[in-house]
Structure 1
């Protein structure tokens, strides 16, 4: 199968067909080479096992975690999220475009983290794993107790800037926000499934406890048949 990498230096917009808006004639000439049918966001919820203190967002399933992120910037967390609750787990599937190992970040996971006045993140961490068959999983190490170093390897740390209303592309790690993951770091070349598990190290009160999932997006992708 031919691998097609989504160019990170461009503004990427997905509708029924990926279109690439970049400066320079070279990009114009190679537009077809970068085109993938579908969109870069999760297409299906395979399973969701909520933990204690979950509930927020469940009435809006499945759409609330499928499609583009609804980022609200550095100082405010989006409410377009699903709370997983303590140790809650969700598994998502890409059915048209899979994540593939390319240069740098391959996958972005969006939560609703924001920055405190001190500049440190208000984070609710999640542990991310990927799989190509939905059976064998490769988990990214998540240091959910390492506050001093901003929870390396975890999702739920970086604010989300991308939103359909502001034109910031959700597939460009340089501007989208969210937390990036490189398949090479777990020894995988392609992934069709993403699993996110609340780390168990967050706050759990009411019905909005734990990791709050907004969306996931393919950065480097390959067309699925």
Structure 2
């Protein structure tokens, strides 16, 4: 019985510490994201791509695409500014654990090879989104929409990973978008996937 009580107390302390750290990280990210409309534009784009894809009228499709292209440009500009703002976060607060689960306040104790820098991660996402918004690869509309959706989902996964953990971020990705982490990673630009894997693995 004493062992069970000790385990219950240890779990309770762990849960409290985990909640405090996650609340701090959510507040930090929210403070930097505050001036921007990144999340609403992400939803607008992903829903808009589906409307465009299922629209039969050619004129209406062209109108929808024009709106989507403008939103892409705005989102790319805002995310680039967000990444520049986040780059000013002190290094200790920007570290993310590569462990799949949350371990409260473990970053200062983990070896460097088990950590990566969220500032570099968000900079990577900013470059990828900007390149697609400018369509530097000359992709057809359908492929560009598919790839941008994957880039945005991966960026959202990174935000959740920073705030909570890799496992929880992957679970939320699957629950919200019916896409697995592996599927999204396979669908982004090859350059994104290469740089991303070099950073987080």
As a proportion of its length, which structure holds more helix? 2
As a proportion of its length, which structure holds more strand? 1
TM-score (norm 1): 0.28
Larger CA Rg, structure 1 vs 2:
2
TM-score (norm 2): 0.30
Which structure exhibits the higher relative contact order, with contacts defined as CA atoms closer than 8 Å and separated by 6 or more residues? Answer: 1
